[in-house]
Amino acid sequence: MYETYEFLSKTLLPYRELNERKVMAELSSRLETNAEGAYYVDSSCVDCDLCRNTAPDFFRRDESGSSIVYRQPVRPEEIELAEEAREGCPTESIGKDGVVQRAQRESRMLETES
């Protein structure tokens, strides 16, 4: 069976790799302007405005034209709104694993210092 290839960013990639669905935002692509905490927006954001309309108390547009988390949700009703925005994001650019990943990074840094 033959693979179909497309040209993307001057790199040849198998067609099936180009069309795999992203499950959640990439922590490694987290925008630096996000507030510290579990929720964040990554660089795949296309600034569709959905998150800002759904949860304006937590999402806003930054100077680069992407949405960011400027305040972390705390209360259950706030988390519910942030989750609604995350689940509705058409590019799946909103993540909620920031705190877990940060704790793991800090733990690894402490281990290497010892």
Question: Which structural domain, as residue segments, surrounds residue 39?
Answer: 22-113
Count of structural domains, the chain: 1
pLDDT at 4: 46
CATH code for position 105: 3.30.70.20
| Torsion sign, CA atoms 17, 100, 85, 32 | negative
In a domain? residue 100: yes
pLDDT at 75: 94
pLDDT at 2: 44
Report the distance separating Cα 52 and Cα 50, nearest Å: 5
| pLDDT per residue as tens, the chain (114 positions) | 444 444 443 344 444 444 555 567 899 999 999 999 999 999 999 999 999 999 999 999 999 899 999 999 999 999 999 999 999 999 999 999 877 555 555 556 667 776
pLDDT in tens, 38-48: 999 999 999 99
pTM here? 0.69
3-state secondary structure of 40: strand
pLDDT at 24: 76
Any idea which residue has 């259950």 for tokens? 76
In a domain? residue 8: no
